[in-house]
A = this chain, B = another copy of it.
Amino acid sequence: MTGTRSRLRALGIRVGRLEPGPLNAITDVAGVEVGYATIIEDAPAVLRTGVTAVWPGGRDVLARPVFAGIHSFNGNGEMTGSYWIAEQGMLTTPIAITNTHSVGLVRDAVGAYLIREGGDAPWLLPVAAETFDGRLSDSERLAVTVDHVFAALRSASGGAIAEGNVGGGTGMICHEFKGGTGTASRVVLEAGARYTVGALVQANYGQRELLRVDGVPVGEAISIDEVPSPRRPSSDTGSIIVVLATDAPLLPIQCQRLARRATTGLAWVGGLGANSSGDIFIAFSTANRIDPKAPTSAVTMVSPDVMTTLFRAAAEATEEAILNALSMAETMTGYRATAHALPLDRLQDVMRTYKRL
């Protein structure tokens, strides 16, 4: 709980049927580290922005990449580094998420950080993604600097991580409530193995009336007449970046498949990839670490049939990560609007009305 905010499960609301990991966070996948740089300033400019960094498995990802895959559900967005991942199936850099106007700087800075830290990789193609925070932040000020990126990268750690108005998610809006950063995880027991799938989202999309919590039409019940929207007119604009991590041994092609299931979790909450939305999903597996210089590498792949439960885990973790972003983000007044937090008591009321609590 942060101030008056709470994660979804602490409210007694459980979405999905698979069990979460111990932290119910992407960091339940061993080795995954998350760091933030958060910029909240009122003068000389109103800034509500930042950087989120996800290390996919220790700091040596450049020397020992992991397999990864991407899916673009609606491509009105950006994720640099995608061509290389699509081609090679490997993720060799941390993933950084920021605001739209800073994605280039953040991309270059991730590369500079890796070179500075000793990487010998002239042709780094770093992964940086974005969602737009121009309602709450004066984003044309280009407030994010190389130092912010370095700070997010350097401070990343495992364990419990902050949610809501932090990092790249600081100024985001989701279903016309205050959105931001959220995370969740699921544990899969299949074929004698125990796998974890974790999700981290930067949620900045969605129309109020489409919001659902475990199928309940919460967005209709807590309409913009009750809690005003920061978007005028009410609209489904914005984007969502989803990062999926798993320790299940997936090949690149299987990572692509997993990434595609963020679509399902997003749909459950009420996201349908609006025209102006950049809904781009990246999934990686920490189970195979590749030495690109070895003539051949021995890798492990999970049975295709196990994918079904991993798909469900990815959908559920995405769903709950978005809802955690909503339930953890606090009301924020910014550049051009106030984004109200999803009122948790009202959320519980509505869930009770529909016999789901």
Binding site for B on A (CB under 8 A): 17, 72-84, 86-90, 100-109, 111-112, 115, 122-125, 128, 132, 134, 139-140, 142, 190-193, 209-210, 212, 214-217, 236, 249, 251-253, 257, 260-261, 263-264, 267-268, 272-276, 278, 280, 290, 292-308, 311-312, 315, 353-356
Contact = CB atoms under 8 A, between A and B. Distances in A.
Contacts of A308: 236, 272, 274-276
A307 B253 contact: no
A106 B257 CA distance: 29
Contact of A83 (B72, B106, B303): B72
A17 B211 CA distance: 13
Given A107-B104, A115-B140, A251-B253, A273 B295 contact: no
A202 to B, nearest CB: 15
A122 B131 CA distance: 11
Contact of A76 (B77, B88, B251, B253): B88
Given A83-B280, A293-B303, A315 B272 contact: yes
Copies in the complex: 4
Contacts of A104: 80, 103-109, 111, 128
A77 B88 CA distance: 11
Contact of A77 (B84, B140, B236): B84
28 contacts: A72-B86, A74-B87, A75-B82, A78-B81, A78-B125, A79-B83, A100-B122, A101-B112, A103-B108, A108-B142, A112-B140, A123-B132, A123-B134, A125-B278, A192-B295, A212-B215, A251-B253, A252-B252, A263-B263, A272-B312, A274-B311, A275-B304, A275-B305, A275-B308, A292-B304, A296-B302, A298-B298, A354-B356
Pairs A-B, 9 closest by C-beta atoms: A215-B215, A75-B87, A191-B295, A75-B83, A104-B104, A267-B267, A104-B108, A104-B107, A275-B307
A75 B86 contact: yes
A264 B24 CA distance: 25
A142 B81 CA distance: 18
Contacts of A90: 304
A94 B192 CA distance: 33
A296 B300 contact: yes
Contacts of A74: 87, 257, 260
Given A249-B296, A275-B311, A301-B299, A257 B87 contact: yes
Contacts of A260: 73-74, 273
Contact of A108 (B101, B215, B264, B272): B101
Nearest to A353: B355
A215 to B, nearest CB: 2
Contacts of A257: 74, 87
Contacts of A103: 80, 104, 107-108
Contacts of A83: 72, 75-79, 82, 278, 280
Contact of A299 (B17, B215, B280, B299): B299
A228 to B, nearest CB: 21
Given A74-B257, A307-B275, A122 B134 contact: yes
